[in-house]
Amino acid sequence: MRIVCIGGGPAGLYFGLLMKKENPDHHVTVVERNQPYDTFGWGVVFSDATMENMRAWDSKTAKAIETAFNHWDDIEVWIKDRRMRTTGHGFVGIGRKKLLNILQERCEELGVELVFEREVDSDLEFPDADLIVASDGINSKIRNRYEKEFKPDILVRPNRFIWLGTKKPYDAFTFDFRRTEHGWFQAHIYKFDEDTSTFIVETTEDVFRAHGLDTADETRSIAFCEELFSEVLDGATLMSNSRHLRGSAWLNFNRLICSKWSHFNGRSHVVLMGDAVHTAHFAIGSGTKLAFEDAIELTRQFRKFGSTPDKIPEVLEAYEEVRAVDVARIQNAARNAMEWFEVVGSRYADTLEPEQFMYSLLTRSQRISHENLRLRDKKWLENYERWFAARAGINIDPDGPPVPPMFTPYRVRGLSLQNRIVMSPMAMYCADDGVPNDFHLVHFGSRALGGAGMIFGEMTCVSPDARITPGCLGLWNDEQAAAWKRIVEFVHTTTSAKFGLQLGHAGRKGSTRVAWEGIDQPLDDGSWPLLSASALPYLPNGQVPRAMTRADMDRVKADFVAATKRAIDIGFDMLELHCAHGYLLSSFLSPLTNQRTDEYGGSHENNARYPLEVFRAIREVWPADKPISVRLSCHDWTEGGNTPADAAIYAKMFKAAGADLIDCSSGQVSKAEKPVYGRLFQTPFSDKLRNEIGIATVAVGAISEADHANSIIAAGRADLCAIARPHLADAAWTLHEAAKIGMKSIAWPKQYLSAKLQYETNLARAAAGPSPA
């Protein structure tokens, strides 16, 4: 085969040498516009896993790279006059020039033809090639020629960065955060050879402009960075090698994905590889890794299908299929890390204490969890757990076992929870006329015995027409109040859990069947009229609600207040006002459901007016020493709907009105929603609201194990974790999760104590593996 790689970066060179190694009869050419030793950038880092893959495909290259590697384990964070260090993180770094030289040498050794100083404008310059690899980097001319076919999607990220170097070897991957009068800058610093380190300086666009860096030339930019980071530089100077760049040396990262990776140009097959087809942000340092893995995968497919011209279409299809999935995974992880650095100045640097700031930094991609950190640096993590527990008011024995963050107590107003786990409200649809019955006693009772700090009652409706279904619980009469009281008293006298009550009104989503008879489907008979912000049905053929009149508003507000008064008598410990999921109060907050033109619609202030009015009314009667949370849909997941930025505006308003916590849920406002589910998928909303607005939050949604909850609480992404479905599967979720992470000091109900040791022992045995027969 005749193969031409356009672009002699890591992707083109490595693919060239692998294919030549596979079959010396292939004619392989790599064409590069630069001279052999002329390149941008400084050092790159990789993980051990990438190296293992490379060893398997060409041990000689891998060995040369490994010999040139600088390996280090520590991460050091500098912020606000603090320097903090942790170990066990295992990076390897190499100078980009050195890396390219190794690849170039190996290419020459294997007989790959290297052509330098040739600018390629078109793939048609190589009419004899069977395969043309467009490995020409992020600004790929070849990709741009076939834009219609490849459909590149480029997202220009908001931060500015400058990629510099310094002749000072740092012995840890160092992050230095510096505040100026205009905002925060951060430096990402890592050594890549005996005496040189990469030094990337990053900031937001507004801070960049406020310092006049948009009009600064490279010399001034470097002088600025040297002065700002003089402490960490300790006399060293900064250097640039970005002469080849046009315009500013300060760049924006471009996130790139392509819908198609290959194209037949009439003579040759053209395939994209490396940065030409996808990018990953330097925050997790994976661009070179992706380039190498692309090269390996394409070679693997040639090995599988055969490396003859007729096999190329199948090979390219299989290559794209495999790589697109892996790349999406890495880009996802890179996105979290990248976004962390984009908001660090506005969200974390001023808000979090240095210890917690560092924890948040280390877990920024949400791929490194609490238990991962324990594996990396147990001592550091245990010290952090002690620090966190001391902040939560626990008297710490410096020699005793630390307390995992989710098991630290939490106080808000006069309420004290023994841990950070809450059973999330979950409608059970099995009440008659809104009256709790024996099912509810057993359901709530058993879960309150299961170790959570607090259990929440399901959405409890403030009037008969406020119900979602005829099976919903209510609190509008004395019979209901008496039945609730029996359950709440059982929980209070028999368990140490607190009991929260979620009050709500179904609005336009009311008068439907119980879940197992058709969720959201209208009742066959016995329906009742509905209210909402606007006269818009939830389902296309559903009942059209009445847009609330002022008289309706007064009546519903009075119902909320009456239910609150009953909740006081019953003895609930906390209230939650349900302003999420498209129900009545939520229908005011979302532009998808609120099309009013009066003072209750049309702007954030107007949309929030009625929900805030209800909130203030219940806050006024609810005891001052008891908290109230507000549940919000922080994302409508629909074009034109609310986004987390809108949720932040509403959260700020509820905070000002006296809300103690925001329970950060999302969706269920519109049937057109397209939520992106996944592990901890709503936690970023909680993180945003908590750290930007400065209000306590509850994270909820796909939090299913202790490791998740510990990571969230420890990083300050939420104050409490609400666990819903796992509590249906396991009433004693909290006790069981404690045992799974070896947390023995949690109290089991005295009646069940004899099971505790056996449960813990069985888990320990299972973890130790099968015993030798």
Ligand X SMILES: Cc1cc2nc3c(=O)[nH]c(=O)nc-3n(C[C@H](O)[C@H](O)[C@H](O)COP(=O)(O)O)c2cc1C
Ligand Y SMILES: Cc1cc2nc3c(=O)[nH]c(=O)nc-3n(C[C@H](O)[C@H](O)[C@H](O)COP(=O)(O)OP(=O)(O)OC[C@H]3O[C@@H](n4cnc5c(N)ncnc54)[C@H](O)[C@@H]3O)c2cc1C
- Residues annotated as part of the active site: 583
Residue 424 partner contact from ligand Y, ligand X, none using kind-dependent CB cut-offs of 5 to 8 Å: ligand X
CB atoms within 10 A of CB 648: 18
Q: ∠ at Cα 188 (183, 194), nearest 5°?
A: 145
Size of the site for ligand Y (CB under 6 A): 34
Q: How far apart are CA 395 and CA 566, in angstroms?
A: 38
Q: How far apart are CA 498 and CA 420, in angstroms?
A: 12
Shortest separation between residue 7's beta carbon and ligand Y, angstroms:
3
Asked if 165 touches ligand Y (CB under 6 A), the answer is: no
State both tokens at 723.
Answer: 């666990």
Part in contact with ligand Y (CB under 6 A); list of ranges 68-76, 273-281, 591-599, 733-741: 273-281
Asked if 700 touches ligand X (CB under 6 A), the answer is: yes
Residue 84 partner contact from ligand X, ligand Y, none using kind-dependent CB cut-offs of 5 to 8 Å: none
CB 185 within 8 A of CB 227: no
State both tokens at 231.
Answer: 């402490």
Size of the site for ligand X (CB under 6 A): 19
CB 673 within 8 A of CB 581: no
Q: Are strands 546-547 and 574-579 parallel, antiparallel or unpaired?
A: unpaired
Residue 459 partner contact from ligand X, ligand Y, none using kind-dependent CB cut-offs of 5 to 8 Å: ligand X
Asked if 485 touches ligand Y (CB under 6 A), the answer is: no
Nearest residue (CB) to ligand X, 337 versus 585: 585
Site for ligand X in 575-634 (CB under 6 A): 578, 580, 631
Q: How far apart are CA 136 and CA 6, in angstroms?
A: 6
CB 739 within 8 A of CB 761: no
Site for ligand X in 484-543 (CB under 6 A): 502
Asked if 425 touches ligand X (CB under 6 A), the answer is: yes
CB 515 within 8 A of CB 466: no
Q: How far apart are CA 192 and CA 43, in angstroms?
A: 5
Part in contact with ligand X (CB under 6 A); list of ranges 182-190, 254-262, 388-396, 721-729: 721-729
Site for ligand X in 434-473 (CB under 6 A): 458-459
Residue selected from 86, 135, 534, 666 as contacting ligand Y according to rule CB under 6 A = 135
Q: How far apart are CA 237 and CA 178, in angstroms?
A: 17
Asked if 98 touches ligand Y (CB under 6 A), the answer is: no
CB 201 within 8 A of CB 366: no
Asked if 119 touches ligand Y (CB under 6 A), the answer is: yes
Asked if 7 touches ligand Y (CB under 6 A), the answer is: yes
Asked if 421 touches ligand X (CB under 6 A), the answer is: no
Q: How far apart are CA 527 and CA 513, in angstroms?
A: 10
Part in contact with ligand Y (CB under 6 A); list of ranges 135-143, 467-475, 672-680, 761-769: 135-143
DSSP 125-144: G-TT-SEEEE---TT-HHHH
Residue selected from 141, 182, 367, 604 as contacting ligand Y according to rule CB under 6 A = 141
Asked if 246 touches ligand Y (CB under 6 A), the answer is: no
Could you give the count of Cα atoms lying within 13 Å of 622 in the half-sphere of its Cβ? 30
Asked if 45 touches ligand Y (CB under 6 A), the answer is: yes
Residue 107 partner contact from ligand Y, ligand X, none using kind-dependent CB cut-offs of 5 to 8 Å: none
Asked if 427 touches ligand X (CB under 6 A), the answer is: yes
Q: How far apart are CA 421 and CA 540, in angstroms?
A: 38
Asked if 740 touches ligand Y (CB under 6 A), the answer is: no
Q: How far apart are CA 665 and CA 675, in angstroms?
A: 12
Part in contact with ligand Y (CB under 6 A); list of ranges 44-52, 378-386, 674-682, 701-709: 44-52
Among 269, 295, 277, residue whose Cα is nearest residue 136 = 277
Residue selected from 200, 483, 589, 689 as contacting ligand Y according to rule CB under 6 A = 200
Nearest residue (CB) to ligand Y, 49 versus 390: 49
Nearest residue (CB) to ligand Y, 277 versus 427: 277
Q: Given the structure tokens 């790959």, which residue do they identify?
A: 112
Q: Given the structure tokens 């170039």, which residue do they identify?
A: 104
Part in contact with ligand Y (CB under 6 A); list of ranges 38-46, 82-90, 467-475, 671-679: 38-46
Find the length of the chain. Answer: 773
Phi/psi of residue 455, each to 5°? Answer: -115, 145
Q: Given the structure tokens 């392509």, which residue do they identify?
A: 258
Asked if 701 touches ligand X (CB under 6 A), the answer is: yes
Residue 427 partner contact from ligand X, ligand Y, none using kind-dependent CB cut-offs of 5 to 8 Å: ligand X
Asked if 178 touches ligand X (CB under 6 A), the answer is: no
Residues within the interface to ligand X (CB under 6 A): 424-427, 458-459, 502, 578, 580, 631, 665, 700-703, 723-726
Residues within the interface to ligand Y (CB under 6 A): 6-12, 31-34, 41, 44-46, 119-120, 135-137, 141, 161, 163, 200, 274-276, 282, 285-289, 291
